[in-house]
Chains A and B, each alone.
Chain A
Amino acid sequence: MTTINEKKKLKKEKEKFMENLFFHLDGELIETEDDLTRLKEILEVDEISNNTKAAFRSAHNFYEKLKKNNFSITIEEIARENKP
């Protein structure tokens, strides 16, 4: 016999399972002219700020170092090398 609480729990779990693919992007993301302008800016403006370039290079270098160490790292290294 399934109790009410068990039924509620099952329903909640089922709802969560339905959200397995964990995003809400099934609909169109361009809803306004501003959305379109913004996306075009992101896709078509080639200029990359020095700050962004530095962030990308730093991310790349960190990953390469991690790879070289067979993806083994100490928590102290993580804290030290991933400061914003």
Chain B
Amino acid sequence: MTQLLLKVIDDSVKIDDFDCGDDDINYFLKNLAIPNQYRKLSNTYILYLEETRQVVAYFSIMASQFNTGNARIYGIDKIPIVLLGRMGVDKNYKGNNIGRMLINIAIKKGLEASFLIACRLLLVETSQDMKSYYLEKLNLGFEWFKDRKAFSILIIDLLKYEKSLK
């Protein structure tokens, strides 16, 4: 049995060998995740091997805003959101539904944040080729908002999530 633990990143884990196949996502974990954590710019949750402390997957979330511009909704032009930013699973551990589990946890963290500071949406900006993964394969309640350039903006309404649990 391979035992894994989930926690917020710190410098007690090993990240140097992490490789999810995407340079940007590797770079973020190895160079920015810990400084961001200490600076309170983003929270990075890591899944790591209990025995070796090697990180096998991670995601980062942060508070952000959905800028509606002139189209004010509810009298505001910036809707508070939780942004699901970087996420990656090491190549050696793909195919175990780890990505789905991390998104699942990120949504729950978004809901917890909404109880404390009020944020309405969890938002992910994904590449077009990952759009169907989120909308069709994951089955976690994502709704498509729009495509923009090479990206798709997908949303989870945290209020609907909250109501579903009652």
| A residues apposed to B, CB below 8 Å | 16-17, 19-30, 35-36, 38-40, 42-43, 46, 48, 51-53, 55-57, 59-60, 62-63, 66, 71-76, 78-79, 81-84
Residues of B within 8 A of A19 (CB): 24
Closest chain B residue to A64, Cβ basis: B108
> Judging by beta carbons under 8 Å apart, are B68 and A16 in contact?
no
How many A-B contacts are there with CB distance less than 8 Å? 153
Residue among A46, A56, A74 facing the most chain B CB atoms (10 A cut-off): A56
Return A56 CB to nearest CB of chain B, in Å.
4
A23 near B107: Cβ-Cβ < 8 Å: no
**B17 contacts which chain A residues (CB < 8 A)?**
none
Asked whether any CB of chain A lies closer than 8 Å to the CB of B71, the reply is yes
Q: Which B residues are closer than 8 A to A by beta carbons?
A: 1-7, 24, 27-28, 31-32, 36, 41-42, 50, 60, 62, 64-71, 73-74, 79, 83, 85-86, 93, 96-98, 100-101, 104-105, 107-108, 120-121, 123, 125, 137-141, 143, 145-146, 148-149, 151, 153, 155, 157, 160-161, 163-165
Residues of chain B contacted by A55 (CB below 8 angstroms)? 139-141
Contact B98–A57 (Cβ < 8 Å) = no
Residues of B within 8 A of A24 (CB): 125, 148-149, 151
| In contact, A82 and B100 (Cβ under 8 angstroms) | yes
C-alpha spacing A13/B141, complex, angstroms: 36
Q: Residue of A at shortest CB range from B32? A: A20
Contact of A72 with B50 at beta-carbon distance under 8 Å, contacts A29-B67, A55-B139, A84-B139 already known: yes
